[in-house]
């Protein structure tokens, strides 16, 4: 079965709306003979007369009028879809969804988003900020185009491209006795009240695995679900806490400082995570390039 081409349909719609071969040919940047051939080709394929040609006007037949009513909206919708797709490809509009673990959002993403918006101000950036497992799931289920995460390296459903290796540090108030130290050994933490994240956080799993051979620390005085909450507790002076370095406040006047932990030193690898075998959209590709540059700079 023959199918009408978009060019033939657009030619018919233009003739029907302008009621003139001359005006339609001009609008479509075609010669009148070329336009006439497209209309004839469409009529041959459909097996009906659509246009009654006269020396001055192009009047539609009854079936032509009916067909115009059905086709004009479809052609317009298709044209809009093509333009929208072209704009998205050229990053003139559209959106991109980025997943990111809570503990890296505030420090890592703002400068990347700012650089992205300077280049592509009409592209909407959506952020899915969750725990590590939820962020990984958002990529695997297609909710996020890509994500910044520290889990997924062994998952065959995703590609794990390292950005940076981030150490865990001891967060303490700026006025604390340990604040001026260059490093602290894990065993020294037993002298001070401390807070930690619960088993709901993947950070807890990484820390527990790294400390498995050491004597256990005293029972914490506070346990929370998110690393970002620990910073507020440390700032209030309630406890010390072990956190990824990027969760620390930025600036010389910060109320919380981070001290390097030794024996052992523990780190996590933040990476760009995307679904395996899936191409990124132009917007997601542009964002990923900026993420990679930011990771190299840290």
Tens-digit pLDDT profile for residues 62-89: 888 888 888 877 777 776 666 555 655 6
Residue 40 is given by DSSP the state H
For residue 6, the model assigns a pLDDT of 79
The structure tokens listed for 91 are 């990053």
Q: Do domains 95-163+269-297 and 166-267 have the same CATH topology?
A: yes
Domain boundaries defined on the chain: 6-89, 95-163+269-297, 166-267
Closest-CA residue to 271 (of 169, 154, 178, 182): 154
- The CATH label, of 3.40.50.300, 1.10.10.10, 3.90.420.10, 1.10.10.920, for the domain at 6-89 is 1.10.10.10
CB of 53 within 8 A of CB of 63?
A: no
CA 236 remoteness from chain centre: 34
pLDDT in tens, 108-144: 899 999 999 998 888 899 999 999 999 999 999 999 9
> Whole-number mean pLDDT of the chain?
88
| Percentage of the chain modeled with pLDDT above 70 | 92
- If you average pLDDT over residues 233-247, what whole number do you get? 94
For residue 184, the model assigns a pLDDT of 95
- Decide if pLDDT at 286 tops 80: yes
Alpha-carbon gap, residue 33 to 45, rounded angstroms: 18
pLDDT band for 236, please (50, 70, 90 cuts). Answer: very high
Buried b / exposed e along 206-235 (16+ C-beta atoms within 10 A): bbeebeeeeeeeeeeeeebebbbebbebbb
Host H or E run for residue 13: helix 6-18
Which 3-state string (H, E, C) describes 234-294? HHCCCCEEEEEHHHCCCCCCCCEEEEEEECCCCEEEEEEEEECCCCCCHHHHHHHHHHHHH
- If you average pLDDT over residues 141-169, what whole number do you get? 95
* Domain 95-163+269-297 fold: D-Maltodextrin-Binding Protein; domain 2 (3.40.190)
Q: How many CB atoms lie within 10 A of CB 188?
A: 15
Q: Is the pTM of this model over 0.85?
A: no
Alpha-carbon gap, residue 149 to 171, rounded angstroms: 21
The structure tokens listed for 265 are 């030193």
Range 166-267 classified under CATH 3.40.190.290: yes
Higher pLDDT pick, 2 / 45: 45
- Decide if pLDDT at 216 tops 80: yes
């Amino acid at each position: 079965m023959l199918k009408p081409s978009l060019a033939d349909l657009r030619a018919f719609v233009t003739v029907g709306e302008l009621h003139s071969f001359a005006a339609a040919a001009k609008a479509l940047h075609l010669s009148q003979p070329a336009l006439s051939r497209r209309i004839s080709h469409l009529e041959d394929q459909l097996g009906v007369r659509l246009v009654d040609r006269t020396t001055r006007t192009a009047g539609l037949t009854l079936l032509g009028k009916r067909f115009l009513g059905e086709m004009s909206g479809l052609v317009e919708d298709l044209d809009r879809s093509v333009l929208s797709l072209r704009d998205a490809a050229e990053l003139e509009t559209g959106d991109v969804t980025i997943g990111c673990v809570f503990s890296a959002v505030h420090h890592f993403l703002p400068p990347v988003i700012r650089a992205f918006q300077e280049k592509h101000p009409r592209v909407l950036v959506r952020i899915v900020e969750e725990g590590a497992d939820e962020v990984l799931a958002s990529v695997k289920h297609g909710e996020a185009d890509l994500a910044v995460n520290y889990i997924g390296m062994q998952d065959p459903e995703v590609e794990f491209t390292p950005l940076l290796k981030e150490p865990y540090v001891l967060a303490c108030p700026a006025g604390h006795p340990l604040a001026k130290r260059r490093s602290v050994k894990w065993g020294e933490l037993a002298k001070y009240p401390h807070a930690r994240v619960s088993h709901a956080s993947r950070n807890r799993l990484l820390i527990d695995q790294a400390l498995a051979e050491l004597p256990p620390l005293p029972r914490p005085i506070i346990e929370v679900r998110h690393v970002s909450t620990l910073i507020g507790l440390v700032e209030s002076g309630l406890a010390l806490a072990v956190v990824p370095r990027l969760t620390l406040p930025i600036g010389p006047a910060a109320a919380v400082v981070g001290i390097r932990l030794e024996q052992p030193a523990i780190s996590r690898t933040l990476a760009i995570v995307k679904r395996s075998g899936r191409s990124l959209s132009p917007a997601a590709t542009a964002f990923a390039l900026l993420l990679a540059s930011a990771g190299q700079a840290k």
